[in-house]
Amino acid sequence: MKDIAQRVFNVEIAALQHVATLIDDSFTNIVQTILQGKGKLVVTGIGKSGLIGKKIAATLSSTGTSSFFLHPGEAFHGDLGMIGADDIIIMISYSGETDEVLKLIPYLKFNKNILIGITGSPESTIAKNCDHNLNVAITQEACPLKLAPTSSTTATLVMGDALAVALMEARDFKPADFARFHPGGSLGRKLLVKVKDLMRVDNLPFIAINATFAELVIKMSEGRLGMVIIGTADDVKGVLTDGDLRRALVNNADTTKLIIADMMTRNPVIIDEEIFINQAEQLMIEKKIATVLVGNSNRFSVKGIYQIYNGN
């Protein structure tokens, strides 16, 4: 079974390497055509090609190129109305002779849509009727019967990825742009959500600088943040973490001689509540800290605490 798996990988890798040699100026022309287009990029195909088409459309949409998938069968039952005159159509068919896709061509030409084919045969009917064609002709399918679409669908998928990446780079698509299309993902959260949205504001562990060791331990335990804030919300004098406490105990086990002022970190890092999570976490990584105070660094006042862990 391992040998079979390795053979499949080798066959498909060889197929991709071959298709890479087929990329020519048509690819550049297609990218420029899409960039200059005023409408959406509509992807269509049926069967395995349709499944690959759905993924390509999804990748394009999430990387700055407005796109959707149109099932060719549904197109004949009203969905052709989804296509505007300015839309560009990508037609996927490895054989280039898929009947359901071919039937769309007369309407699309009447509608004056620009057609892009992704086929394995530049001489096929679909390729010849498209304004542009991307050749994904493979050397062989990985299927031992040479029947099931395997290498061919992989090549089509990678060609779609190549289009998406080329368009991303041409548009100078940034991480922040990606985040706007993925607000529910971790990247979207970091690039769109501000510190004030995730910081803890209730029951912050403030303690007086002259508090006893017992009071310190109790307050740190109650806060469940692994640290305490020395001073008040409007007058922060420092912070003391459980790490600071452990190091102090290693050096002096006599708790009666441990003084908060000697253990705490003065002038702690305080960030503004309006900065984005990614900015806060980058600063925390640079400072090698897992917890940061949120408030006004100029007045040493605190409104909350943000931690880089515990779900944040």
| CA dist., res. 13 & res. 7, Å (int) | 10
Residues 130 and 259 in one domain: no
* 45 and 160 housed in the same domain: yes
Asked whether residue 159 falls in the same domain as residue 228, the answer is: no
In a domain, 188, yes or no: no
The answer to whether position 54 is within a domain reads yes
Rounded Cα distance between 257 and 293, Å, is 28
What CATH number is given to the structural domain containing 91? 3.40.50.10490
163 and 208 together in one domain:
no
- Domain C-terminal end among 173, 203, 232: 173
Q: Kindly provide the residue ranges of all beta strands, DSSP E only, lying in 88-213, ordered along the sequence.
A: 88-92, 114-119, 132-135, 206-207
> Within this chain, do residues 168 and 65 fall inside the same structural domain, yes or no?
yes
Q: How many CB atoms lie within 10 A of CB 213?
A: 18
- pLDDT tens digits in sequence order for the chain, 312 residues long: 999 999 999 999 999 999 999 999 999 999 999 999 999 999 999 999 999 999 999 999 888 889 999 999 998 888 888 999 999 999 999 999 999 999 999 999 999 999 999 999 999 999 999 999 999 999 999 999 888 899 999 999 999 999 999 999 998 877 666 665 655 555 556 666 788 888 999 989 999 999 998 999 999 998 888 899 999 998 899 999 988 898 888 888 888 888 999 999 998 889 998 888 888 888 888 888 888 999 875 667 899 999 875 443
**Are the C-beta atoms of 57 and 64 separated by less than 8 Å?**
no
Mode of pairing for the β-strands spanning 235-241 and 227-232 = antiparallel
Residues 233, 151 within the same domain: no
Q: How many residues comprise the chain?
A: 312
CATH number of the domain within which 250 lies: 3.10.580.10
**Does the residue 185 lie in any domain?**
no
Closest CA to 159 of 135, 194, 183: 135
Within a domain: 182: no
73 within a domain of the structure (yes/no) = yes
Domain presence at residue 113: yes
Of 141, 169, 168, 165, the closest CA to residue 155 belongs to 141
Examine the domain organization and report whether 86 and 42 are in the same domain. yes
Residues 166 and 199 in one domain: no
Residues 23 and 117 in one domain: yes
157 and 225 in a single domain? The answer is no
DSSP state of 117: E
pLDDT at residue 188 in the model: 58
Residue 296: its H or E element: strand 291-296
Report how many domains make up the chain: 2
Instruction: Extract the runs of DSSP E, i.e. beta strands, from 124-283.
Output: 132-135, 206-207, 227-232, 235-241, 265-266, 270-271
Return the SS3 of 88.
strand
Tell me the one-letter amino acid at 214: A
Q: Is 71 domain-assigned? A: yes
Binning the chain into helix, strand and coil, the percentages to the nearest 5 are 45, 20, 35
Domain boundary among 173, 205, 235: 173
The DSSP element (H or E) to which 170 belongs, if any, is helix 151-170
Q: Is 2 left (phi over 0), alpha (psi -120 to 50) or beta?
A: alpha
If phi over 0 gives left and psi between -120 and 50 gives alpha, with beta otherwise, what is residue 209?
Answer: alpha
29 and 150 share one domain: yes
CA-CA distance, 9 to 17, in Å (whole number)?
A: 12
Residue 245, domain member (yes or no): yes
131 and 213 both lie in a single domain: no
pLDDT at 310: 43
DSSP state of 276: B
Domain around 85: 2-173
Sheet holding 301-307, edge to edge: 270-271, 291-296, 301-307
